[in-house]
């Protein structure tokens, strides 16, 4: 998790840098969010890879895939986890010590399954002050009249 950003599922990271973000990009985010309904989600699988621990969120994979298809020139996580990393909530980063990762995995696993609801997409940008929200748009709600 990053300072200033609560637990979340990244739809496409890294996204267009703030300095290059266009109105068309923002319109694309809003349009894609409108095309997917809010969703009840079941989180039940803990995964570990390359120094992090996460919980998969398979119910959000279709929207993650749609965002990646909309911006095909952007490689999710710069290719670190392959071409199609699973939708997930990162629980711990820098968990390079296998014992620490196992403890985190066990603690998180004891809380699962977990039910939650995805109701919105938030575009966040990295600024000199850290991560900040640019806007939030509800899922399944057309933007504008």
User: Per-residue pLDDT for 114 more than 90?
Assistant: yes
Q: Average pLDDT, stretch 64-72?
A: 96
User: Per-residue pLDDT for 116 more than 70?
Assistant: yes
pLDDT at residue 108, rounded to an integer: 94
Render pLDDT for 11-59 as a digit per residue (tens, 0 to 9).
999 999 999 999 999 999 999 999 999 999 999 999 988 788 999 999 9
User: Per-residue pLDDT for 103 more than 60?
Assistant: yes
| CB of 8 closer than 8 Å to CB of 89 | yes
User: Per-residue pLDDT for 1 more than 80?
Assistant: no
Beta strand pairing status for 130-138 and 120-127? antiparallel
Q: Is 74 helix (H, G, I), strand (E, B) or coil?
A: coil
Cβ neighbours of 51 (radius 10 Å): 12
Instruction: Tell me what the pLDDT averaged over the chain comes to.
Output: 91
* Beta bridge mates, 52: 49, 93
DSSP state at residue 58: G
């Amino acid at each position: 998790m990053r300072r200033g950003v609560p637990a979340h599922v990244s739809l496409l990271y890294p996204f267009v840098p703030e300095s290059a973000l266009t109105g068309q990009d923002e319109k694309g985010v809003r349009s894609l969010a409108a095309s997917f309904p809010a969703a009840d989600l079941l989180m039940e699988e803990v995964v570990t890879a390359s120094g992090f621990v996460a919980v998969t969120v398979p119910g959000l994979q279709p929207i993650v895939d749609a965002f990646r298809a909309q911006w095909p020139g952007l490689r999710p996580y710069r290719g670190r986890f392959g071409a199609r990393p699973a939708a997930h909530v990162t629980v711990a980063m820098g968990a390079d010590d296998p014992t620490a990762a196992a403890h985190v995995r066990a603690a998180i696993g004891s809380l699962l399954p977990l039910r939650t609801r995805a109701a919105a997409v938030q575009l966040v940008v990295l600024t000199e002050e850290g991560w900040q929200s640019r806007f939030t748009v509800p899922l399944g709600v057309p933007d504008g009249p």
